A and B are shown apart, each in its own frame.
Chain A
Amino acid sequence: MASAAGSLSLYEVLGIPTSATGGEIKAAYRRLARTCHPDVVSVSRREVSADEFKRIHSAYSTLSDPDQRKNYDRDLYHRHRRDPFGSSSIHFNSSAAPSGYPAAVYGGRRNWETDQCW
């Protein structure tokens, strides 16, 4: 689930064109926060939405900082020309879990059984 979104650019995460202005980035972030923040979704979706919001926030914090955005744009240009997510790469953003990492860290659902009680 995280890997599907992993291939999106930060612009795609926020649903804005690469030419977006600072104001548009901020507005998009707010609009998405209004629907994706764990505080506004139903209880059953909170875990998923926490991950979603983290991704949105991380995209926003990179793109809203002019220097970081410049660096990112440069990377983005280069990345388009090679496989963006090399298989054993440790390098990853906070939302995309590389294969080697413990699933629970990235899927964080509560799962336990109390068969003996029933």
Chain B
Amino acid sequence: MAELQYTVASDSENTGEEKSSSAFPESAIGIDIGTSQCSIAVWNGSQIEVLKNTRNQKLMRSYVTFKDETPSAGGVTSNQLLHEREVLSGAAIFNMKRLIGRVDTDPVVSASKSLPFLVQTLGIGVRPLIAALVNNAWRSTTPEEVLAIFLVELRAMAELQLKRPIRNVVLTVPASFSRFQLTRIERACAMAGLHVLRLMPEPTAVALLYAQQQQQIVHENMGSGSEKNALIFNLGAGYCDVAVTATAGGVSQIKAITGAAIGGEDMLQNLMRYLFPDLDRLFSNHSTNDIKSMAVLRIATEDAIRKLCSQTSVQVDVDLGNENNICKVLDRKEFEEVNKQVFEKCESLITECLHDSKVNVEDLSDVILVGGCSYIPKIQNLVKAICKREELYSEMNQLEAAVSGAALEGAVASGISDPFGSLDLLTIQATPLALGIRADGNTFSPIIPKNTTMPARKEQVFTTSHDNQTEALVVVYEGGGKTVEENQLLGFFKIGGIPSAAKGVPEIIVCMDIDAGNVLRVFAWVMMPGNEHPVTPFMEVRMPTVDDGHGWCGEALLRAYGSALDLVTVQKRV
């Protein structure tokens, strides 16, 4: 790994046991690292407090500017007037959340190539090269490193305000993040000296806040709490998440959850391309002038999108240099047409989530819309239309809901209790993605289906695909695709010592276990007919095991072994 250009702060004693074993445990803080903006909140003993930076802002732009000296996390402390240009100068890395844990064949990474900093891809399934422009040189870094620097700054800011060291955190993450991506987030936190108590899918954090609010209403009315179903739709700059939750008595059960890497950044880029179709060709070189033009266009387009939330048309006037001028009246209809696919994807996610939850639209008590893009009229309209209602839930700050939920979870997970019962809360999580293995050729065979309540343990029986096959490969994937290529590889191992037998005779049992800490373990063992005990010691592998070159592994395995070690599914016995 490259030599780090900065110092990562760390507790002097943070490698050992948990410190907070005192009678008054300190609440873990909640952090919402957004693609574009970030916030921190904490349970202050009686309520949730969203922390402000020295400029009195609760929301901080997520970016890090690289300089000759130590890089600085701009969004936390720098001067606001300078910052928009600085962010887009090529020296700053942002959108880390869109890049973290992705390989260079990922379309989300390709879509990041029109950002001002360098995202270099070779299209072979390795991590992309990411670099910031410092003194006319591209200096490489990684999304984890950038995130870690940013978290160090956030941590310092929070420590200053709370006047205590901070170690334990609850972070919100997109529902569509694979377990591999979660390990990258954990790594960034570790680099920043933070201990992750929990990584919460964003809508489940919102669901927890909703559960608390409903609980309070029940307390106030002295009534009995009946079950309330709510749909939560969260659209930020980088990700769209949907969840359906059933809430009663402070217990929030996630009935279904889904998400995709789609958001405001896509709308912004689509509109930039619409305004300036030559975008990709012109900016492919990343020269200093290109970057300047790109920044001008980006700022103007972002501004237009913002204005179109409240007005029906907007005048766009930008001079990109080199006689490239854009002078155009853009109306809301055009914006909606340009981003038709984004809106359609949002709709399909909601429909899918409702279907999976088995909750009828009519049985929804509330529809909650949050996130940075929740102000876009088209988004509000489509959510209302699918959920068949006039009004959306209005008891939440749309930009602070996720971080507030994370702060609540932080307090609950730290074992804090509240005399008024405000923390008598529980979220029963469900798996946002299916977990399974490769079987029957390149088919993804799910073992723990999507939307399974966690903790969970499931198993399935497989068998050999050839006569006298003595070994088999267990290749573990996560995702929603039918074939393995569409899913995220988490790891693989070989199970050997299968007694020689006709194909279909040995039983290879693969068991997956997600424990209370959301750790995934994959077990496998071989049974032969007539034997009560496994014929060999069983395998136990904690996943994910893959590291950064994971895009290669699946193909490499196939090249090396062909179908020689394949597994075949067995019809479930009753």
Chain A residues near B (Cβ < 8 Å): 26-27, 30, 33-34, 37-40, 46-47, 49-50, 53-54, 57, 61, 88, 90-91, 94, 99-102, 104-105, 108
Cross-chain contact A46 with B513 (CB below 8 angstroms): no
CA distance A30 to B427 in the complex (A): 11
* Pairs A–B under 8 Å by Cβ, sample size 18: A26-B227, A30-B249, A33-B253, A34-B251, A34-B424, A38-B516, A46-B515, A53-B455, A100-B531, A101-B525, A101-B534, A102-B523, A102-B534, A104-B538, A105-B511, A105-B523, A108-B515, A108-B521
Q: Given A94-B457, A102-B540, list of 6 further CB < 8 A pairs?
A: A26-B227, A27-B248, A33-B253, A38-B517, A46-B515, A91-B574
Contacts of A108 in B (CB 8 A): 513, 515, 521
Min CB distance, A114 to chain B, in Å? 15
Q: Return the contact of A33 from the options B227, B426, B456 (Cβ within 8 A).
A: B426
Which of the four size classes fits the interface of chain B?
20 to 34
Min CB distance, A43 to chain B, in Å? 9
Contacts of A94 in B (CB 8 A): 457-458
Q: Return the contact of B534 from the options A49, A61, A100 (Cβ within 8 A).
A: A100
Known contacts A50-B455, A91-B573, A100-B533: A37-B515 contact under CB 8 Å: no
Which of B413, B457, B458, B516 has the largest count of A CB atoms less than 10 A from its CB? B516
Please give me the residue from chain A that is nearest to B527 by CB atom. Answer: A100
Cross-chain contact B511 with A99 (CB below 8 angstroms): no
Known contacts A88-B532, A104-B540: A50-B515 contact under CB 8 Å: yes
Chain B residues near A (Cβ < 8 Å): 227, 248-251, 253, 412-413, 424, 426-428, 453, 455-458, 511, 513, 515-517, 521, 523, 525, 527, 531-534, 538, 540, 573-574
Contacts of B251 in A (CB 8 A): 30, 33-34
Cross-chain contact A102 with B532 (CB below 8 angstroms): no
Min CB distance, A28 to chain B, in Å? 12
A/B pair count, beta carbons within 8 Å:
73
Cross-chain contact B453 with A57 (CB below 8 angstroms): yes
Please give me the residue from chain B that is nearest to A53 by CB atom. Answer: B455
Known contacts A50-B516, A102-B523, A105-B523: A37-B532 contact under CB 8 Å: no
Contacts of B455 in A (CB 8 A): 38, 50, 53-54
CA distance A43 to B210 in the complex (A): 26
CA distance A26 to B246 in the complex (A): 11
Contacts of B249 in A (CB 8 A): 30, 34
Cross-chain contact B428 with A33 (CB below 8 angstroms): yes
Please give me the residue from chain A that is nearest to B227 by CB atom. Answer: A26
Contacts of B458 in A (CB 8 A): 94
Known contacts A102-B525, A105-B523: A30-B248 contact under CB 8 Å: yes
Which of A54, A102, A108 has the largest count of B CB atoms less than 10 A from its CB? A102
Please give me the residue from chain A that is nearest to B530 by CB atom. Answer: A88
Cross-chain contact B525 with A39 (CB below 8 angstroms): no
Min CB distance, A88 to chain B, in Å? 6
CA distance A33 to B211 in the complex (A): 15
Cross-chain contact B412 with A39 (CB below 8 angstroms): yes
